[in-house]
Amino acid sequence: MFYKLLENKMPQFQTIEQAFEWFLESVYPNLPTEKKTSTLRGIKHAYYSEGEKVSEKRMKRVLAEYCNYEVIHNVEEKL
């Protein structure tokens, strides 16, 4: 498992790619047909296709549109 669940059951990921992959595997299949637009299907196809790339900015836009998405930065002083 590449993510952990927070107390409120919201998964937390190390990278945007992990979060986006989780979205494609866990949220996308449950979306109503009318929300699976040709744009979203194209992004999914591009993500899984070799030689094509989905930008970090685009992944964040999709996550923000279809999920409660937030960025958390944890910083700890080196000792």
- Look at residue 76 and tell me if it is in a domain: no
pLDDT in tens, the chain (79 residues): 444 544 556 788 889 999 999 999 999 999 999 999 999 999 999 999 988 899 999 999 999 999 998 888 788 999 8
Distance CA 54, CA 45 (A): 10
- Look at residue 36 and tell me if it is in a domain: yes
- Look at residue 74 and tell me if it is in a domain: no
Strand partners, 11: 5
Structure tokens at 51: 């030689």
Q: Which of 53, 30, 31, 34 is nearest to 42 (CA)?
A: 53
Q: For residue 40, with 0-12 CB atoms within 10 Å meaning exposed, 13-18 middle and 19 or more buried, which class applies? A: middle
- Look at residue 7 and tell me if it is in a domain: no
- Look at residue 57 and tell me if it is in a domain: yes
- Look at residue 75 and tell me if it is in a domain: no
- Look at residue 79 and tell me if it is in a domain: no
Structural domain range at position 28: 13-66
Helix (H) or strand (E) segment spanning residue 28:
none
